[in-house]
Amino acid sequence: MNLSYAVLMLAAFAAAPAAAFEVTSNDMQAGRPMSGAQVFKGFGCEGGNVSPQLAWRDIPAGTKSFAVTAYDPDAPTGSGWWHWVIFNIPADVRELPTGAGDPASGLAPGGSVQSRTDYGAPGYGGPCPPEGHGPHRYQFRVFALDVERLDLAPDSSAALVGFMLNAHKLGVAQLEALYER
């Protein structure tokens, strides 16, 4: 092998794009309807209100913590609907198990904070769109952050948490599922 060929091969390898930050779930699929297990129980909905399992990989370099949000941009509120906000997830965590969105379950990582959603309480609150409103998109996002902790109170609004997430994000991975009644 001549030297110029070796240099070209090294340059091509060095220029190869890194794997993309990605989130997956065993409990839901991108672009597909969510199951009744994840649907809210209340407001006329009769679901299990269990947060889905989420796993992420190929995290951005320099990640010091993670946050996860679930958001419905199609809610008829003028500002969408926040279904789950959890932050201060340690950098070595790569998964939230099914049910971690119940603060009483003890399944969320130690040190993490689940703050107030638009249901008015901390923890996961599943989809429950108005009947006949058509399919809503539920965006589950994992934020890789450049800080170990966000200094926010557990009753912080999702908008405030979202502001801080965007100020400290190194990358965002998203899985979008659907639900309608």
Handedness of CA 99, 33, 78, 41 (dihedral sign): negative
Q: Is the pLDDT of residue 148 over 80?
A: yes
Confidence (pLDDT) at 9: 45
pLDDT band at 18 (very low <50, low <70, confident <90, very high): low
Phi-psi region of 43 (alpha: psi -120 to 50; beta: other; left: phi over 0): left
pLDDT band at 17 (very low <50, low <70, confident <90, very high): low
Q: Is the pLDDT of residue 53 over 50?
A: yes
What residue type is 99 in one-letter code? Answer: G
Mean pLDDT calculated for residue range 127-137: 97
Of how many residues is the chain composed?
A: 181
Confidence (pLDDT) at 19: 82
End-to-end CA distance of the chain: 64
pLDDT band at 122 (very low <50, low <70, confident <90, very high): very high
Mean pLDDT calculated for residue range 79-85: 97
Confidence (pLDDT) at 88: 98
Q: Is the pLDDT of residue 6 over 80?
A: no
Q: Which domains are present in the chain?
A: 19-179 (3.90.280.10)
Mean pLDDT calculated for residue range 163-180: 98
Q: Is the pLDDT of residue 14 over 60?
A: no
Q: What is the pTM of this model?
A: 0.90
149 close to 66: Cβ distance less than 8 angstroms: no
